[in-house]
Amino acid sequence: MTGKNPDATPTMEGHLTGNVKEFFDSFAASYGQGRYFELRRAAVFQILAPYIENAQRILDLGCGNGLYLVELCKLGKLRRPVGMDLSEAMLARAQEKLGERADFVRADAVAIPFKANCWDLVICSHVLLFVKELGRCVADIARSLRPGGLVAVTTAPNLVVRLARCSARRYSPNSTRSQEALR
């Protein structure tokens, strides 16, 4: 773990996955740049504005190089947000951008190293599609949320099918294609 965080518990280094970490380490300097990413972030903040205003504790799970954290810090109303990522290079870039305005934790999304009931809002932008043990990750996010807390997820359509598998629900009961994808 980097930085100090009162909600952190010891990390579980054994759960770190080399492939995803190395993939994101390789483009930490440029990740999140471009019009697509700008529009995606703007949409997320537009939708989350009323929730962010009331949130005391915010976790950016899979914070990458810190672009969401930069926007959160501009709001200035909340306690220091926390960024968590598997990639050392991404966290280093985020720390360069934010310095002491945010806390940072290096950890795997399937072993979130925080106490139960400690987050008002967890932002998880294009992260879950890279998590192998999705059910475990989602359960850990739920455990770490305060009662009434909110999880904001951006993703690709294929994650919806994976989430449906985890929850044993069908993506679209009327779609033969969706039924086949779940088998």
Give the domain CATH number at 122: 3.40.50.150
Q: Would residue 177 count as lying in a domain?
A: no
Q: Which long-range contacts (CB under 8 A, 24 or more apart) does 55-58 make?
A: 55/120, 55/121, 55/150, 56/120, 57/7, 57/82, 57/118, 57/119, 57/120, 57/121, 57/146, 58/82, 58/119, 58/120, 58/121, 58/122, 58/123
Nearest to 93 by CA among 28, 168, 13, 40: 28
Residue 148 confidence class, pLDDT cut points 50, 70, 90: very high
> Average of pLDDT values for 62-86?
88
Least confident of 5-9, 113-117, 168-172, 179-183: 179-183
Q: Would residue 136 count as lying in a domain?
A: yes
Query: How far, in Å, CA of 94 to CA of 65, rounded?
Result: 4
pLDDT on residue 80: 86
Assess whether pLDDT exceeds 60 at residue 7: no
Query: How far, in Å, CA of 160 to CA of 145, rounded?
Result: 21
Q: What range does the domain containing 42 cover?
A: 13-156
Least confident of 17-31, 41-55, 74-88, 167-181: 167-181
Bridge partners for 58 per DSSP = 121
The 10s digit of each residue's pLDDT in 9-47 is 333 333 344 576 676 766 666 677 778 888 888 888 999
Residue 99 confidence class, pLDDT cut points 50, 70, 90: very high
pLDDT on residue 108: 92
**Both tokens assigned to 89:** 């290079």
> Average of pLDDT values for 70-89?
87
> Average of pLDDT values for 82-90?
93
> Average of pLDDT values for 83-107?
94
Bridge partners for 8 per DSSP = 114
Q: Would residue 183 count as lying in a domain?
A: no
Average pLDDT, the chain: 78
Query: How many domains does the chain fold into?
Result: 1
Other beta carbons within 10 Å of 52: 22
Query: How far, in Å, CA of 41 to CA of 154, rounded?
Result: 10
pTM over 0.95: no
Q: What is the dihedral of CA 9, 13, 18, 24, to 10 degrees?
A: 30
pLDDT on residue 30: 67
